[in-house]
Amino acid sequence: MFFQQLVNGLTIGSTYALVTIGFNLVYGVLELTNFAHSSFYMLGAYLTVFSMTWLLGRVTPLGFFIGLGISIVITGLLGALMDKASLEPIRKRNGAPITALLTTVGVQTIINNSILLIFGTESKPFPDVFQLGKVYVGDTVIQIFQIIIFVVAILLMLGLSYLVYRTKIGNAMRAISQNATAAKLMGINVNTVITITFLIGSAVAAISGAMMGTYYQKIDTLMGASVGLKSISSAVLGGMGSLPGAMFGGFIIGIVETMFAAYVGSGFRDAIAFIIMFVVLLIKPSGLLGVKIETKV
Amino acid sequence: MVENNQNPIDKASQQNLDEAVIKAPIKSKEKPVKRFFTSLLEFWAKHQTAISLAFLAIAILFPILFNQQYFLSIGVNVMLYATLSVSLNLITGFMGITSLSHAAFLGIGAYTAAILSTRLGANFPITFLAGAAMAGLFGLLLGLPSLRIKGRFLAIVTLGFGEIARMVELNWMSLTRGPQGISGIPKVSLFGWIMKTPAQKYYVILVILVLVVLAVAAIMNSRVGRAISAIRDDEVAAEAMGINVFGYKLMVFSISAAFAGLAGAFYAHYMSFIDPNAFSFAQSILILSVTIFGGMASIAGSIFGALTLLALPELLRFLIDYRLIIYGFVLVIMMVFQPNGLLGSFNLKHIKQQAMFRKSQERSES
């Protein structure tokens, strides 16, 4: 029973981790709370199933990967477009951080309601193309796909960490996050790097959306809203801007939530994430693995 | 966050006054459109009270001219959101704290009024006062720990509070009846006189709106208001001048929440049915977009914003499905081109001073 709950909690935690990693990538560079990130997650899932079933008409693993590819490209480009069209002008005018935050809220509203308008409110089936089956460990049932989600979450974290800490563009990202003006003086094309960050972050969100769609075998227009707010809690818990923090934050929130639902009661399970977030922000705003925030006068 | 909310006219106020002498002769060379707007603003600044009263008169006459359920329900909606937006403007516009929990305070007020009236048979004015007091109390409780947090983290905390409040409303079955909501909330009655026609309900919310507007205007014209502006412009400098920044933040946050609670109490009596869905994150966003669209730190802007964003889609009925998408675009476009909102960039007091100054210059020349 306990191990079963642990497995379920880790799976839900992986969902949060997958969404939070992309979120924290953007936060790490721009210190921007990107509310639109969860919308890109939902959009990624919708585009994958749309291209797989209606555009290609192939409900096979190959069709899934082609659909996922299309979804990643479109979602990534939309993320880049959002930055170019709405966030770059604000940066150019030295707008306040809160202005950019509200812009992402606006983009979130646009995407969510467009999806609602195009695809309707009822949930859509997401075909499980892999049919991987289950394994039994003692009396604990583990779906193979649960393991895959878990592994993908860790791989994405490692991959993005490699990107941020070992590559040239990653160096540029970290330079911008420390001091954008100095980065510009060193010859870094600040706006392009930030746009690429959004491109990667949104593409990662699309991957997460497709994974989750396959796991739950259905998608609906509310999938972004609930996961999105909880991924912000995961980010706060793990440390805003930290990629390993995003993963651990997601895992912890998922496990605590599942355990709470199993042993205390399911009523308030959705509130737990926010209570954790509340407490972390009040006691240690930098989170578990985050960098200490310095306020400059 | 602090820099952006600063009124550009405020900042250069003294400088502008000095330059007004030099500028005055060039005035005739200005583009006609710009001159028209300048003179319009000057007219508004000069006759501010008269224009406000004229608008109030129109608002009072509205139910007599359009005595139909449909028009009146639009009117009530506009007034309700104007009230919410003015109260949100107090913290977001005037003080520069972005709050994403205004729907929660609306909900707290509504649930307080609904529970008191259905369980205990209470009615106006007890339910309204209790709704406002309860929301104000929760504003205080949220503000006490969280107002020390800076900037964007505070926005996230208020977001979390909004969600927790909704979870409680959804799950505390014995008190709130959860997702079924509370139905059969009695109408507002004043000493046995029941407000049941649409026009009467309209006047109730009009009175609330006028009271909230007067209260916010009074606050902003007082010592407290000047402290609020100082905090918005530069927190550290305000602290150095001996302003109790945390104390004022707490007070204003709580007052703003109480006004939202007051609107919530009206909402409960008006709809006679409430459920947690009405007080979601999307509702907070709607209130925020009204405030930002109309104008940061502008009471007239908030009313104008509510009028535009809630009445306009009704006029263009085919747009009703796209309403939320339009709100999204409004938020984005506003943030990119006019972060202070439509009426947020004008300082009427300053425009009036400038006009008077120019007039006195012209007089002394002739």
B87 Cβ contact partners less than 8 Å away, ≥ 6 residues apart? B102, B212, B216, B256, B259, B260, B263
pLDDT for B236: 87
Domain-embedded: residue A215: yes
User: B199 near B59, Cβ under 8 Å?
Assistant: no
In a domain, A262, yes or no: no
* Of B5 and B151, the one with more pLDDT: B151
Residue found under tokens 């909900």: B107
A34 part of contact set with chain B, CB < 8 Å:
no
- Locate tokens 């779906």: which residue? A143
Residue B275 has pLDDT above 70, yes or no: yes
Paired with A124 in beta bridges are A219
User: Chain B contact for A72, CB < 8 A?
Assistant: no
In a domain, A65, yes or no: yes
Q: Identify the three-state secondary structure at position B252.
A: helix
What does the mean pLDDT of chain B come to?
Answer: 82
Calpha distance B345→B349 (Å, rounded): 12
Regions of chain A with pLDDT less than 50? 296-297
Chain B residues inside the 8 Å CB shell of A105: 285, 288, 331
Q: Which residue matches tokens 């929660």? A: B104
Let me know if residue A242 belongs to a domain: no
Domain count, chain A: 1
Whether the pLDDT of residue B122 is over 80: the answer is no
User: Which pLDDT score is estimated for A72?
Assistant: 94
Which residue in A26, A83, A99 has the most chain B C-beta atoms within 10 A of its own C-beta, making it the best mutation to test that interface? A99
With a cut of 60, say whether residue B182 has pLDDT above it: yes
Q: Work out the minimum CA distance from A48 to partner chain B, whole angstroms.
A: 23
What is the DSSP secondary-structure string of A115-139? HHHHH-SSPEE----S---EEEETT
If one compares B179 and A290, the residue with the highest pLDDT of the two is B179
pLDDT in tens, B19-63: 544 444 445 556 777 778 778 878 887 788 888 888 888 888 888
Cβ pair A203, A79 in contact under 8 A? yes
% of chain B beyond a pLDDT of 90: 23
Query: Are A110 and B163 an interchain contact pair (Cβ–Cβ within 8 Å)?
Result: no
- What range defines the domain where residue B26 resides? 2-365
User: What's the pTM?
Assistant: 0.83
The predicted pLDDT at position A293 comes to: 55
Q: What is the pLDDT of residue B4?
A: 45
User: What is the pLDDT, as a whole number, of residue A297?
Assistant: 47
- Please check the confidence at residue B86 and state whether its pLDDT lies above 90: yes
- φ, ψ dihedrals at B176, nearest 5°: -110, 0
Q: In this complex, is the C-beta atom of B331 within 8 Å of any C-beta atom belonging to chain A?
A: yes
**B288 CB near a chain A CB, below 8 Å?**
yes
Which residue of A23, A119, A278 is the best one to mutate when testing the B interface, meaning the one whose CB has the most B CBs within 10 A? A278
H/E run at residue B174: helix B173-176
Q: Give the pLDDT confidence score for residue B2 in this predicted structure.
A: 40
Tell me, what CATH number does B280's domain have? 1.10.3470
How confident is the model at residue A292, as a pLDDT? 59
Exposed, middle or buried: residue B68 (CB in 10 Å: 0-12, 13-18, 19+)? exposed
Given a cut of 50, is residue B246 above it in pLDDT? yes
Q: Is the pLDDT of residue B5 over 50?
A: no
Is the Cβ pair A109, B324 closer than 8 Å? yes
- Closest-CA residue in chain B for A296? B236
Neighbouring CB atoms inside 10 A of B192's CB total 6
When pLDDT is averaged across residues B171-178 and rounded to a whole number, the result is 82
Query: Residue A63 belongs to what domain range?
Result: 2-229
Which residue of chain A is at minimal alpha-carbon distance from B323?
A: A113
Q: Is B8 on the interface with A (CB under 8 A)?
A: no
Give me the pLDDT at residue B310, please: 83
At residue B250, does pLDDT exceed 90? yes
Please indicate, yes or no, if residue A254 is contained in any of the structural domains. Answer: no
pLDDT at B16: 52
> Is residue A51 in a domain?
yes
State the pairing for strand pair B193-194/A218-219: unpaired
CA distances from A131 to A69, A258, B160 (A): 20, 25, 38
A279 within domain boundaries: no
- Helix, strand or coil, per DSSP, at residue B97: coil
- Decide if A274 and B281 are in contact by the 8 Å CB cutoff: no
Q: How many domains does chain B have?
A: 1
Q: What is the mean pLDDT of residues B246-264?
A: 93
* Shortest distance, CA B204 to any CA of chain A (angstroms): 32
Is the residue at A261 inside a domain? no
Return the SS3 of A167: coil
Give the pLDDT confidence score for residue B12 in this predicted structure.
47
Whether chain B has a CB inside 8 Å of the CB on A283: the answer is no
Would you call B325 helix, strand, or coil by DSSP? Answer: helix
Q: For residue B198, is the peptide bond before it cis, meaning its omega torsion is within 30 degrees of 0?
A: no
Inter-chain CB proximity A109 and B163 less than 8 Å: no
Q: Are B306 and A60 in contact (CB under 8 A)?
A: no
B326 touches chain A (CB under 8 A): no
